[in-house]
Structure 1
């Protein structure tokens, strides 16, 4: 599905969270995964930020935190932008971007997501502006973009099925690859919107952003309490 030999990725990623936090994240993940499997047993329809999205089983649904990225996309995108939505899932952020931008490329490694995103682009009247492609990170992405949007899987575990692959990226292979290649796919004044939370290895994400020399600002954030612990969700703007 991709040119893995060309994708730099960590040999033996080591979590940058404390062991007890890693164990807590595993418990949270298992609970969320079982709930998602139950919910995703049937197709779901969401009305979200002016869009209607049909999400089949095996594709990440809209969540209570999705708006932190969606609203940032609507605020950030400009009419002349060429936009890339990496890991598009249901196509949601590509469709939001296409409400302003005339050229959007949406990619995902999940073939079910690719079909769902195409259907949703059609459903929302932006199929002429959104191209959807199967791609393992940048393997089948060409050219440069003014805006790249990425909502990466938060967890570094091995996924057991396509649905779980929306939230787990074994040893952060895809996320690491993404950051080490992103600059080659950005225009000189290009920017990125990245969504992530402390229910993933946030320190590792920050390490990747720093390693590539991005300037980072937080444009949206929300804090929740889970099992007595504070969990933060963030939309980062990178330039």
Structure 2
């Protein structure tokens, strides 16, 4: 790529390069990276397509495409990821928000809530989204990672919910007080022996702490089940994202904890994605 190339030709060359590198959606990524290099909104890329790239933009684009070709995630290169219609600041210290997690958001928003707890808050995408969608609600997000707490706090400020969101370092429920009518979590659910089979992009660039418990993948659910009844208000709901093989095990843990009305919420692809439960 050189400054003499039009934006359209540069994108085409980038897409071909990313396709050869095995990137799943090369055209999309080429467009997003060009928008970032040119410091414009992705929706405006088609407007600059006939224009020649300046040497500065071409150089930035070359660097971004080179990094994407070795499978550095787009969100890590641009520093942000869209989730439920909002852009969240992202770093290598937190799990990259997935579209599938929007299933949990939809389930949470299906009933009213006033006070929400997000266990393993990460980037803050779940807690911040729920507070942004429910202007009267307040919430607490906890994470064992101090870096994640800082990232979640930044996103709370970015989306104007910081006054209603408390972010605190805690090992699951260890330092949580009070009761909530909604508790949510997207915990690390990949078993240690499954890590080697993950996509290289995830394995190399996502924080291991957010992916696996270092055991059978059920450790977080056990911790949640052990303490959830002390923190759920009567009638309060618990919603957790799960791995594809964990439905029966998580349901059993929650039933043993005394939760009722336990059920499964499927994502848009028809896969079991969220377990819902309630305190009687």
TM-score by length of 1: 0.73
Q: Verify: 1:38 aligned to 2:72, yes or no.
A: yes
Counterpart Cα distance in 1 of 2:229 and 2:108 = 19
1:209 deviates by 1.6
Are positions 1:238 and 2:271 aligned together?
Answer: no
- Judge conservation of contact 1:109–1:137 (CA < 8 Å) in 2: yes
Q: 1:90 to 1:45 in 2, by over 3 A?
A: same
- The higher relative CO (CA closer than 8 Å, separation ≥ 6) is in 1
Say if 2:246 is the partner of 1:201: yes
**How many angstroms does 1:213 deviate by?**
3.0
Aligned counterpart for 2:148 among listed residues 96, 100, 113: 113
Separation in structure 2 between the aligned mates of residue 55 and residue 175 of structure 1, nearest angstrom: 25
Query: 1:49: which partner in 2?
Result: 84
Give secondary structure in 1 for the equivalent of 2:98.
coil
| Residue aligning to 1:168 | 212
5+ unaligned residues in a row in structure 1: which ranges?
Answer: 1-34, 225-231
TM-score by length of 2: 0.63
Q: Specify which structure has the higher proportion of strand.
A: 1
Distance 1:76 1:85 in 2: 16
SS of 1:65's partner is helix
Instruction: State which structure, 1 or 2, has the greater radius of gyration over its C-alpha atoms.
Output: 2
CA drift of 1:41 comes to 5.2
Unpaired segments ≥5 residues, structure 2: 1-68, 196-202
- CA drift at 1:174: 2.8
Work out which of the residue numbers 203, 212, 228 in structure 2 matches 1:182: 228
SS of equivalent residue, structure 1 residue 197:
coil
Structure 1 residue 222: deviation in Å? 4.2
Residue in structure 1 matched with residue 182 of structure 2 by the alignment: 147
Distance 2:101 2:267 in 1: 11
1:210 equivalent to 2:255? Answer yes
Answer yes or no: is 1:62 the counterpart of 2:103. Answer: no
Distance 2:96 2:190 in 1: 17
Q: Which residue of 1 aligns with 2:158?
A: 123
Structure 2 counterpart of 1:92: 125
Q: For residue 56 of structure 2, what is the aligned residue in structure 1?
A: none
Q: CA separation in 2, counterparts of 1:87 and 1:221?
A: 21
